[in-house]
Chains A and B, each alone.
With several copies, the nearest count.
Chain A
Amino acid sequence: MDSIAQLFTDAATYRLLTIVILSIFLGIEVISRVPSVLHTPLMSGANAIHGVVIIGAIIVMGEAASDDYLALTLGFLAVILGTLNVVGGFVVTDRMLEMFDKKKKRK
């Protein structure tokens, strides 16, 4: 955690920023030619991917002292919500795309 103290003063920040910039461009490039039928599943899949925030929730939860009730309660809630986002997101996306699959099989 203390690494954050330096976060905005040292070169590592700029390396992270490089990652951010590259990711932004990549996100734009990857998506920019998606056919409109795939808009909803793609949105849903992206929705599942940002569920990666669950990792933060796990860390919060796992680092909470056993008498730190705030961290325990909120962390627990965060883990549940994050999992909902991830699992629900991927499952619902898969269901949407299953429809397309079926369609193709009978082509």
Chain B
Amino acid sequence: MLLPLIYLIGSITFILGLKMLSHPDSARKGNLVAAFGMTLAIVGTIFLYRDHSGNSLGNYPWIFAGLVIGSIVGTLAAKKVQMTAMPEMVSLFNGMGGACAMLISIVEYHHNPNPSMGMLVVIVLGMLIGTVSFSGSIIAWGKLNGRIKDRTIPAGQAINFLLFAGILTMAVLLVFSISSAPFLFYGILALAALYGILFVMPIGGADMPVVISLLNSFTGVAAAFGGFLYDNPVMLTGGILVGSAGTILTILMCKAMNRSLKNVLIGSFGGQKTGGSVGGSKEQGSYKEISLNDTAVLMAYASKVMIIPGYGLAVAQAQHACHELEKVLEDKGVEVSYGIHPVAGRMPGHMNVLLAEADVPYDKLKEMEEANDQMAQTTVVLIIGANDVVNPAAKEDPASPIYGMPILEVEKAEHVIVNKRSMKPGYAGIENDLFFKPKTSMLFGDAKKVLQDLVSELKQV
């Protein structure tokens, strides 16, 4: 009975792994612990699994081929992916897991022509949830990398409801063996795939990480159904752990954006975009531009500069140029810090990760509250490719879709300089009054280019 012991160890590593992953000091080790347990469980299954007649597994060449192909492709994809594209990568991998659960259910459905009701429930639910997770994740992936655009589906909620009802009806017919036609099974599969697509399609790109986290917990539940199917405790604990942890994580992520899950799923940013631009159509004042040279002078003689990075910095891959700027300023005796908003960028911790990549010292990164406290003593705030996270509408305009989100209160500083490429809105798709405030000057251009130019200007000041 070595295999059950291995599975037990596997379950323990998953718990420990998740536990360690939620503390900064142990996170990386936690990931390795879970990976170790997973390897153990996989190797154990391959060599020690016995079916009820005591036969070991066959088809080793196929199994190993699959493992090797998957490992190589997975490793390469994971290693090559850009920092900014990581969330979409996670979504893709998540979809693979969902598809895997779906395929298993399909095969088991065909292998059991006369299944018991309990078994049928487990197979159908595993397939259903796996499929939704699969198709939803693929859409999320496509939206995040820009292949698929936001699209509000007319009467989307009604359609989703119909789909849901259809799935339920077919599932009941199938499970209570009122009809056992395979087309019911595949019908459920098709509707589930469609449901996943329509479910994710209208959700704004800014909310994608939340949706991915939700789909993540779906796949966990699908994996747990596999655990029921094979009476396998490690699949069960692993799947359920992820299912419940993923759900909590989804809620936590919503909270960090100050939104409710319902709000994300139904009243998505995508749908409200129109509302936002209506708000934007009200006559804005005019904005003023500032030249590179003036910016350089202003900063060189400032006592304290705070840099506020946003998604644009990540897109432009300007983190190294940013660090360069910081060093030049410090050489001139200017105190430089970074104001990090929790949801700046496209994933939580995005800015931290990005700036760490450029070796920016950790103690220069100020979290939102601290940054806001220091704002009044700051001479120049330089906003690089950030938009929503400094939008005063979040505090002032109850009609705004981002109303209630805490923001970096840059207006408390003496001067505000905003670098972006145009007057286009950010992810929430809404206008930003900040740009039209008297204190604010715009410094247009690609973040990387602007920062590099700024550095050379500064060296001449």
Contact = CB atoms under 8 A, between A and B. Distances in A.
Direct contact of A and B (CB under 8 A): yes
B325 interface: no
B243 A27 contact: yes
B89 interface: yes
Nearest to A9: B1
Contacts of B359: 102, 106
Contacts of A50: 94, 97, 216, 219-220, 222-223, 238-239, 242-243
A15 to B, nearest CB: 6
Interface stretch (B228-236, B289-297, B302-310): B228-236
Among B28, B217, B350, the one with the most A-chain Cβ atoms within 10 Å of its Cβ is B28
B237 A22 contact: yes
A14 B4 contact: yes
B70 A100 contact: no
Contacts of A107: 361-363
B75 A62 contact: no
A19 B237 contact: yes
Interface of B is mostly: helix
A84 B97 CA distance: 8
B237 A53 contact: no
Contacts of B57: 58-59, 61-63
A21 B12 contact: yes
Contacts of B228: 4, 7, 16
A81 B118 contact: no
B116 A59 contact: no
B32 A94 contact: yes
A46 B242 contact: yes
Nearest to B223: A53
Interface in B144-180: none
Interface in A2-39: 2-5, 7-39
Contacts of A1: 51-52, 111-112, 230
A60 B46 CA distance: 11
A51 to B, nearest CB: 5
Interface stretch (B244-252, B259-267, B401-409): B244-252
Contacts of A84: 70, 73-74, 77, 93, 96
B45 interface: yes
Contact of B96 (A45, A82, A96): A82
B73 to A, nearest CB: 6
Given A75-B62, A87-B74, A100-B353, A57 B103 contact: yes
B347 interface: yes
Given A49-B18, A51-B38, A107-B363, A36 B252 contact: yes
Contact of B236 (A11, A23, A82, A93): A23
A33 B252 CA distance: 9
B42 interface: yes
Contacts of A77: 66, 99, 103
Contact of B27 (A16, A33, A85, A97): A97
A36 B221 CA distance: 24
Interface of A is mostly: helix
A4 B231 contact: yes
Contacts of A17: 8
Contact of A62 (B59, B71, B213, B239): B59
A100 B353 CA distance: 6
Contacts of A32: 248, 252
Interface stretch (B78-86, B188-196, B198-206, B275-283): B78-86
Nearest to A64: B59
Contact of A37 (B24, B41, B247, B248): B24
Contacts of B219: 47, 50, 53
B63 A85 contact: no
Contact of A19 (B1, B14, B86, B233): B233
B447 interface: no
Interface string B96-139: 11011101101110111001111101100000000000000000
B25 to A, nearest CB: 8
Contact of B15 (A30, A57, A78): A30
B93 A88 contact: yes
B243 A24 contact: yes
A15 B46 contact: no
Contacts of A101: 28
Given A31-B252, A49-B241, A92-B86, A85 B58 contact: no
Contacts of A53: 97, 100-101, 104, 219, 222-223, 226, 235, 239
28 contacts: A16-B228, A19-B236, A20-B224, A24-B240, A25-B244, A34-B249, A36-B348, A41-B21, A43-B216, A45-B34, A47-B216, A47-B242, A52-B14, A52-B41, A55-B235, A60-B108, A62-B57, A64-B59, A78-B66, A82-B70, A85-B97, A87-B71, A91-B74, A91-B78, A92-B93, A97-B31, A100-B356, A101-B28
Given A26-B241, A36-B348, A104-B24, 7 more contacts: A14-B8, A19-B233, A49-B220, A52-B10, A56-B235, A94-B31, A102-B356
Interface of A: 1-5, 7-64, 66, 70-72, 74-104, 106-107
Q: Which 9 A-B pairs have the closest CB atoms?
A: A83-B70, A62-B57, A79-B66, A27-B244, A88-B74, A8-B118, A14-B4, A37-B349, A87-B74
